[in-house]
Amino acid sequence: MNNRIMDQAGSAYREVDGKRRQVLQLGGGMAVLAAAIAAGLIKPELAFAQDWNKAAFDTHSVADTVKALGGGAPAESKDIQIVAPDIAENGAVVPITITSNIPKTQSIAVLVEKNPNTLAASFDIPEGTDPYVQTRVKMGQTSLITALVKADGKYYFVNKEVKVTLGGCGG
């Protein structure tokens, strides 16, 4: 009886010891990471999501977003197509297809002008991938949707209005 209690105590101790070791190891890992961040090897935001462009996603107007993405004044282009419903009954799910026919398209961004944050999504198109993306976005209210395309270093855009009968933000 006594022995068993001792055994249990022993195993509990071992367990604690094991945890402590884990914690120590983890602590060591964190210290290395912290040192790397301090040394400027890894930017803190990079440690989490790979180069997520926080500045661009924090913008509140189309012009600011374009600036944050590094573009000058974009030119309107008929070579970009947005396929989206004219009237979206449910703003929480608005299907959007963007096709760019501009040669050397490098990236496609989806902007919703009247959302709390303008930039919804941005896609990098490597060579060999079609300049075509299809996704679904939320819209708080009736707004212009802007497709911003970067091709050969220049920026082009096209707008399309989508009317929303039921907003997709808030509850």
Partner 1 sequence: MAEPMKIRATMQGDKVEVKVLMNHEMETGQRKDAKGATVPAHFIQSVVATCNDKTVLSAQWGTAVSKNPFLSFRFKGGKPGDKVIITWTDNKGDKRTDEAVIAAPAA
Nearest Cα residue to 167 out of 139, 126, 148, 137 = 139
Q: Is 129 in the site for partner 1 (CB under 8 A)?
A: yes
- Interacting residue with partner 1 among 11, 12, 18, 52 (CB under 8 A): 52
Helix, strand or coil for residue 20?
A: helix
Contact code string over 66-95 relative to partner 1, x by CB under 8 A: --------------------------xxxx
Q: Is 44 in the site for partner 1 (CB under 8 A)?
A: no
Backbone angles phi, psi at 69, to 5 degrees: -80, -5
Q: Is 137 in the site for partner 1 (CB under 8 A)?
A: yes
Taking the C-alpha atoms of residue 160 and residue 130, their distance in angstroms, rounded to an integer, is 21
| Residue spans of alpha helices (H) in 39-70 | 44-48, 54-57, 62-68
Q: How far is the CB of 8 from partner 1 (least distance, A)?
A: 32
Binding site for partner 1 (CB under 8 A): 48-53, 57, 92-95, 112, 115-117, 119-126, 128-130, 132-139, 168-171
